[in-house]
Structure 1
Amino acid sequence: MKPNIYVVPRWSGTIHSDWYDWLAEQVEARWQVPLRRLEMPHWQTPRVEEALAFLSEQVPGLDEGTFFIGHSVGCQSILRFLHQKLTPESTSPNVGGLLFVAGWLEVDEPWDTVEPWLDRGTLDLRSVRERVLHKRVLISDNDPFTSDFARNKYLWETRLGADVTLYSGQRHFNQKTAPEVLSALREMVEPAN
């Protein structure tokens, strides 16, 4: 089964920001599938309800070949989308994987428009934790939004059961290439037998 891989950009990001174009080339060469980069609506000031409605339109179905890559607030969009879709009562199949880059559940100095995106313990991630086969988070030890990287790591591990990798000096992962993202994706899409 060929994977369906979706990318949800960072705050104010477009489908061409940071490493997204580079990753699209890598994915298309490796798996002969398009990287579905989602141009999120009003992403200069993202709104939760709008993002969830858009994801519902753009992601026609979920299965074990579905993989999501979120960057910063993109991670929050994906979490909330799957929280809606993977309820204990839903009959949706399992999801292949989540790869969160510069992911956060808290930020150091919240601003007004980020407040609705912060998880204050209200998201029940149990179904997401149980129904997503691979959960990876890549964070940096000098991210300007989450200086307490140890707490950020702990929250992802305890709340989502994610495998968290800490990188040195990657800030918010805004480079033009991201071999660490491709490597983590490859481990999820092509797991060892």
Structure 2
Amino acid sequence: MKVAIIPGNGAGDVFHANWYGWAHKQINKMENVSCDLRNMPDPITAKESIWIPFMREQMECDENTVIIGHSSGAEAAMRFAEKYKVKGIILVSACVTDLGDDNERASGYYSRPWDWTTIKANTDFVVQFGSTDDPFIPWEEQQAVADGLSSDLRKFSDKGHFMNSSFPKLLEVVKEKIKD
């Protein structure tokens, strides 16, 4: 099985940002699993028109891939699953609108309604991590994703925007899903 980690925008070198490098290393230690993490093209605006083809053509995300998306990467994971079948998506700090931010609006993810039915049909599972104290994504936005996707929601009140250097709960979910 393959796992692809899609970072949030503005992360800089993804191997040293948040929990991405840590998760990449831990997942690659698992048996019969490979994890792909890359510095994304257009890392500031994270344009859908650039990221989705990159995920498909360069990272080779397909029906045997679990996509882990954080923040802008969560929106990329959802839009990817609107177009292509994937094994599953794990969303971290996901939202449904651009929150009035010009850079987020320019990404293109929010220019149309979310096709929840197609996303669900194209995934075997959707797990979502969210925190009520996220300083960037209001809880209502995260709950809207959970409602739209009927996700397996892991709700916290003390994780902020999930920017720690490790993420053990994420690793537990990956281990659980690769056994299935």
TM-score, structure 1 length as denominator?
0.82
**Aligned partners of 1:125 and 1:159 also within 8 Å:** yes
Q: Cα RMSD (Å) of the superposition? A: 2.0
| Pairing partner for 1:6 from 4, 8, 16 | 4
**Aligned partners of 1:156 and 1:164 also within 8 Å:** no
1:105 aligned partner, one-letter code: V
Distance in 2 (alpha carbons) for counterparts of 1:44 and 1:61: 22
TM-score, structure 2 length as denominator?
0.87
The worse-fitting range, judged by mean Cα deviation, of 136-145 and 31-40 is 31-40
Distance in 2 (alpha carbons) for counterparts of 1:61 and 1:67: 8
The percentage of aligned residue pairs carrying the same residue is 21
Written as runs of structure 1 = structure 2, the 5 A alignment for 1:35-184 is 35-60=35-60, 62-63=62-63, 65-86=64-85, 95-106=86-97, 109-116=99-106, 117=108, 119=110, 122-147=113-138, 149=139, 151-184=140-173
Deviation at 1:167, TM superposition (A): 1.2
Report how many aligned residue pairs link the two structures: 177
> Which of the two has higher C-alpha Rg?
1
1:36 aligned partner, one-letter code: D
Deviation at 1:60, TM superposition (A): 3.1
Distance in 1 (alpha carbons) for counterparts of 2:110 and 2:172: 28
**Aligned partners of 1:101 and 1:181 also within 8 Å:** no
1:44 aligned partner, one-letter code: I
Distance in 2 (alpha carbons) for counterparts of 1:47 and 1:119: 11
Task: Deviation per CA, 1:38-63: give whole Å up to 9, x if none.
Answer: 32112122212111221221243522
**Aligned partners of 1:70 and 1:101 also within 8 Å:** yes
What is the DSSP-based 3-state SS (H/G/I as helix, E as strand, rest coil) of the residue aligned with 1:137? Answer: strand
Distance in 1 (alpha carbons) for counterparts of 2:142 and 2:18: 23
Q: Which residue of 2 aligns with 1:89?
A: none
Distance in 2 (alpha carbons) for counterparts of 1:176 and 1:61: 25
**Aligned partners of 1:146 and 1:152 also within 8 Å:** yes
1:163 aligned partner, one-letter code: D
